Structure 1
Amino acid sequence: MDLIPAPRSCRWAPSAPHDRLTPRTRLEARPGTEGVARWLRATLGAATGLPFPDGNGGDDDRVVLAVDPGLPPEGYRLVVDGRARRIEGGGAAGVFWGAQTFRQLLGADALRRAPVRPAHAWTLPPVVVEDAPRFAWRGVMLDVARHFLPKDDVLRYVDLLAAHKLNVLHLHLTDDQGWRVEIERYPRLTEVGAWRARTKWGHRASELWDDTPHGGYYTHDDIREIVAYAAERHIRLVPEIDLPGHSQAAIAAYPELGNTDVVDTAALSVWDTWGVNPNVLAPTDHTLRFYEGVLEEVLDLFPARTSPFVHLGGDECPKDQWRASPAAQARIRELGLAGEDGLQSWFIRHFDRWLAERGRRLIGWDEILEGGLAPGAAVSSWRGYAGGVAAAEAGHDVVMCPEQHVYLDHRQDGGPDEPVPIGYVRTLEDVYRFEPVPPGLSPEAAAHVLGAQANVWTEVMESRSRVDYQVFPRLAAFAEVAWSTRLPADPAARDFAGFERRMAAHYRRLDALGVQYRPPGGPLPWQRRPGVVGRPIDGTPPNV
């Protein structure tokens, strides 16, 4: 039935006829499923034109939502057998994922926002689907710092994640090129840090510039709306505030945060190009207090029930300024640290303790392993598998997101027409054959692999349509990898031809959702970027 991601079990109910929804079809929401019913009525009602009134008992023309504690928390059972249609889950999340499958069974037009066929045309096959996810963390990192995505685009991506049974949205909110979240006690972070005068067009080696000022940020109420919208769809948010590197936007707003004894930080502006920036935070008590103030507001905006993890970056922090700074060197001696690497670890350990005292967990890119980690911290393994393996064997939880496999900013084909081609060639099949648990990992260490995440860095994605092109259809393959228990652990044994056949139906779903994906035959003329320099490389990291 062309379901994506593939369920654990899907079997026909042979004695039952195809089922038809009608204007009389009622929606029965049993205790614990009220939020799913609200979502299902709003989305499926809009697509079908059917009212789905409340109701229980009586005839069998109803859809029943129920919690069955005997199922896994995110597991579900969907039954269409000629009697009442039932969607049962181990919790509300399981019922919600079952409702997503129910929507797929009705056909691609069930994903539209208004009816395109008559109300009597909605039929369901007689099936029993039983399913549960392989991983608890099925994530996407969306970089809104390099190119800002307005709030409505973020809400749209929440829906796209939900349609693919992905349950974590990691928002990369700050970087050298922009600060994207309002912090009321530090207004210059958005007054100054959210805007840059121009933007490099293409790879940093390009001679082209877009001279249009670029920027934007989310207000407190925008963030609250995003969090609530995602929670209704059983998606957790992971906010990222990057430190001590990737911080020029913050230093441009508040120059005292930088290494003022070696750099004229007052002359810095929000960075307008790409790469690894040399301007890093100064290791002072003032910097610590400043970021504690930032994080106090972040924790208030992203409550613990929906955002147990807070990402603090910790990656690509050049040490040159610390080596040259008398103040930084004095700090190293005062704290008895092992050089500049120890100074970076000092930053991370401080905020690990600070977050733990407030009931949150720190997660960071795998550089945070350098210098050692507190037991509760988790690692996003991006520089291949090695960091994740080391972290898991040391007892740390890990999210696998190696750039060689699931960086969706990397080009999808080696041909000359790819728009601003960056990084490795990673095709739809390459993503489908990604395996989050490295071979040879001990069973104890493998239990620390929380799941997987696809990362979407937006240096060369200046619009929603460019993000769509890079993300889809590969996100469908990634979703199956992260969800489906049917996939063999051996990537070579996976049935990619079967997945491609199911994708024929899934492209129609993406069309219904308005996704401007990369067609199987290559980019359409308006999706290309002729003359814009990328970095088409093979075998070496792109480091945009």
Structure 2
Amino acid sequence: MSETLNLYPPPKKLEWAEGSSAIGSSFVIHAQDEQSERIAFELRLQERLNAAAARIGGGGSSDKTAVNVVRREGLHPQGYMAEWDGGEVTLFFGEAEGLHYAAVTLEQLLVRHGRRWPHFRIEDEPDFPVRGIMLDIGRGKIPKLETLYALVDRMSALKFNHLQLYMEGFDFDYNEFRDSFPEATPITAGEFRLLDAYANERFVDLVPSQNCLGHMGPWLAKPAFADLAEHPGGQATPLPVKLPPTTLNPTDPRSLELVGKMFDELLPHFASGYVNVNMDEPFGLGRGQSKQRADEIGVPRLYMEYASKVFDIARSHGKRILMWGDIVTKHKEIIPLLPPDVTVLDWNYDDHTSFEAHCKLLSESGVPFFVCPGTSTWSAITGRTDNMLANIADAARHGKAHGAGGLIVTDWGDSGHWQPPVASYPAYALAAAASWHTAKGALDHAAMEQYVTECMLRDGSGAAGKLTLELGRYYHLENSTLENMTYTSYLLNRGLSSREKLESETQMLVQLLVEIGGRGIPFALDYRYEEMQDWLRSREEELSGLRLDLPDAELIKEELRNALRLVAHGAGLHRYIFGLELPDAEAERAWLAHLQADLADIIETFNRLWLARNRQGGLEASARNLYKLLGQYEDRLRDCEAKKEK
């Protein structure tokens, strides 16, 4: 059969019939019974299909194409069947969500095949019941409501059904605590209700997510909450570095009172049956104010003693519990203590570590769990593409093999959340396909690239998908052993210094990561500067050739261009620190002046682009290290001028 059918995520079963036919100028819905008619009406099925047909313009006959809607018992609740024989379209479904996904399939067919379709029969249902995205809004980058609406639309087109907005700062407008965060621009209760309704109409479950133990740094930095910390004033380490307070004291009743007040305000605005209580990375737990209790019962039981009380608070709101699994899988004695209504979110973001062992452990222990790989875009500016591809595929394969109930791709904002949204598009697309049809979706990178080009970015040049993937490959030219970040991002955040100090402090960072649970690979660097310059020039040329057919096309291109400038600036900073092709003091001073002017312009553009999609609050914190570096350039230039005058 010479015909092809471009659908992403790929359907489970596709059968061909002879020939192809043009659809009519519009669609008319014929329902089998009153219940099917009601569901089709509630989904605005006819309106959606006609709107999609109108967007692709003319070319079909003036006739209307009938869409027969048939409810059939026994189909997967999210499954559907679709047939096109040249005369009419027939859609079979069991539940409303299945009919929604059938409609998404037809909408994509219109976008990618126009008005002539090969004759086909599709039988389709997902491998993972829960498929979604966790977007970090807790590191300052809180999107505007219209930005979040656009994200939900993007998710719906990929057949995702779960969205978490991760919170660790004042990201929701808690009325009782507003006075402690005058600088914040949080999402209000009314906005969350609007977003919740918008998401639910598209079968996306908007799940509240609020930290309750670790990752409470923004709260513990405020005077009103400082004494709730496990380590008020900071946590000492074996190194000459002190970690800021990030973990609540689990033995202080006021910690639970704070969680209770948060949930009382937050949870009523969500229809979801879930809440993510997080509970991950409680650095220093049992070594500060809770040490006496930890010495009595052990750190794992101390953790569960507190967690159980948090679970009770969540249950009082009628919620089932999601929680990160790092402590559970590290301390296996906790597993028998987990209640059956708790689902563990098993996370791992490195391609050298497989999900297999944790999936097997949780499955054999009878613990409900989701697998949670990452976009690999945080602390990376434009991403770490090949790490992402392997990480998501591994999560999908082992999650499916061991019965994971969901796959959630995480999109964090570490190190200032500098990555543009489009940098995460390939990861979103791959995670959607891998969680819908693991066998075909996890490794079909070409289909993913084509979907990003044609559907997510609507690029007439045909190059956008390939470019977004290639933008996340500059880290290979760094040849750095730093984990979960790129050297370029680290360098820009760390600031100006000598080569000797850079290497010394980076080794200290590795030791610090060991102290808080990291792998601690010794730092090594073989930076390929000349190749990086060639790579940057090629990407800039490719970016200039994109022809995006989107309302925010120019904004997307500006975001990518400024992200590339940040990468290029990091390369320039490396050149300065290591003295590459800078033979004398005057050459160094001239290059430093170039860096100062370049970064000033990058920051100005960064601020403007941030405000196009996101709220003001958090911008200062996100750009703080860029301003710090700019100030260091200016100080160094003054020193150079002073020496020159002498």
TM-score bin (small chain): 0.7 to 0.9
Larger Rg over CA atoms: 2
1:476 matched residue in structure 2: 429
- One-letter code of the match for 1:354? I
CA contact (8 A) 1:31 1:66 kept: no
The answer to whether 1:296 aligns with 2:264 is yes
Taking a change above 3 Å as real, the CA distance of residues 487 and 521 of structure 1, as seen in their structure-2 partners, is closer
CA distance in 2, matches of 1:513, 1:285: 55
CA contact (8 A) 2:232 2:245 kept: no
1:392 matched residue in structure 2: 363
Alignment map for 1:6-21 (pairs within 5 Å):
6-14=10-18, 17-21=20-24
2:43 matched residue in structure 1: 36
The answer to whether 1:409 aligns with 2:369 is no
Taking a change above 3 Å as real, the CA distance of residues 434 and 256 of structure 1, as seen in their structure-2 partners, is closer
Other structure's SS at 2:450 match: helix
Taking a change above 3 Å as real, the CA distance of residues 87 and 251 of structure 1, as seen in their structure-2 partners, is same
Q: Give 1:166 shift.
A: 1.3
CA distance in 2, matches of 1:344, 1:137: 27
CA distance in 1, matches of 2:304, 2:570: 38
How much is the aligned-residue C-alpha RMSD, in angstroms?
Answer: 3.5
CA distance in 1, matches of 2:428, 2:358: 23
CA contact (8 A) 2:378 2:417 kept: no
The answer to whether 1:510 aligns with 2:456 is yes
2:130 matched residue in structure 1: 137
- One-letter code of the match for 2:42? G
1:360 matched residue in structure 2: 319
2:105 alignment partner, one of 78, 86, 101:
101
CA distance in 2, matches of 1:521, 1:332: 47
Alpha-carbon displacement from aligned partner over 1:224-247 (angstroms, at most 9, x marks no partner): 111111111111122211121111
The answer to whether 1:426 aligns with 2:387 is yes
CA distance in 2, matches of 1:398, 1:260: 30
Q: Give 1:102 shift.
A: 0.5
CA distance in 1, matches of 2:91, 2:458: 24
Q: Give 1:248 shift.
A: 1.9
2:155 matched residue in structure 1: 161
Taking a change above 3 Å as real, the CA distance of residues 337 and 41 of structure 1, as seen in their structure-2 partners, is same
Q: Give 1:485 shift.
A: 5.7
Alpha-carbon displacement from aligned partner over 1:499-540 (angstroms, at most 9, x marks no partner): 515743551112239998661672343141223489x9xxxx
- One-letter code of the match for 2:454? R
CA contact (8 A) 1:27 1:63 kept: yes
Alpha-carbon displacement from aligned partner over 1:69-122 (angstroms, at most 9, x marks no partner): 23111001112212332222221111111111101111349xxxxxxxxxxx73
1:315 alignment partner, one of 264, 270, 280:
280
1:183 matched residue in structure 2: 174
Taking a change above 3 Å as real, the CA distance of residues 79 and 42 of structure 1, as seen in their structure-2 partners, is closer
Q: Give 1:486 shift.
A: 4.6
1:78 matched residue in structure 2: 82
1:126 matched residue in structure 2: 119
1:337 matched residue in structure 2: 297
Relative to total residues, which structure has the larger helix share, 1 or 2?
2
Alpha-carbon displacement from aligned partner over 1:465-494 (angstroms, at most 9, x marks no partner): 71221x122322221110016539xx7xx5
Alignment map for 1:255-334 (pairs within 5 Å):
255-256=224-225, 258-259=227-228, 263=232, 277-283=244-250, 284-303=252-271, 307-319=272-284, 323-325=287-289, 328-329=290-291
2:502 matched residue in structure 1: none
The answer to whether 1:63 aligns with 2:75 is no
CA distance in 2, matches of 1:262, 1:500: 49
CA distance in 1, matches of 2:146, 2:21: 37
Q: Give 1:351 shift.
A: 1.4
Q: Give 1:2 shift.
A: 1.8
CA distance in 2, matches of 1:69, 1:323: 57
CA distance in 2, matches of 1:137, 1:521: 26
Q: Give 1:301 shift.
A: 0.9
Q: Give 1:363 shift.
A: 1.2
The answer to whether 1:436 aligns with 2:396 is yes
Q: Give 1:357 shift.
A: 4.2
- One-letter code of the match for 2:44? A
CA distance in 2, matches of 1:181, 1:45: 39
Q: Give 1:316 shift.
A: 1.2
Higher relative contact order (CA 8 A, sep 6+): 1
Taking a change above 3 Å as real, the CA distance of residues 170 and 282 of structure 1, as seen in their structure-2 partners, is same
The answer to whether 1:26 aligns with 2:28 is yes
The answer to whether 1:91 aligns with 2:95 is yes
Q: Give 1:12 shift.
A: 2.5
CA contact (8 A) 1:361 1:376 kept: yes
Taking a change above 3 Å as real, the CA distance of residues 144 and 261 of structure 1, as seen in their structure-2 partners, is closer
Name the TM-score, length of structure 2 as normaliser: 0.62
Taking a change above 3 Å as real, the CA distance of residues 43 and 296 of structure 1, as seen in their structure-2 partners, is farther
Alpha-carbon displacement from aligned partner over 1:200-228 (angstroms, at most 9, x marks no partner): xxxxxxxxxxxxxxx53111111111111
Percent of pairs with identical residues: 21
Alpha-carbon displacement from aligned partner over 1:268-307 (angstroms, at most 9, x marks no partner): xxxxxxx97533213322221221121122221112xxx2
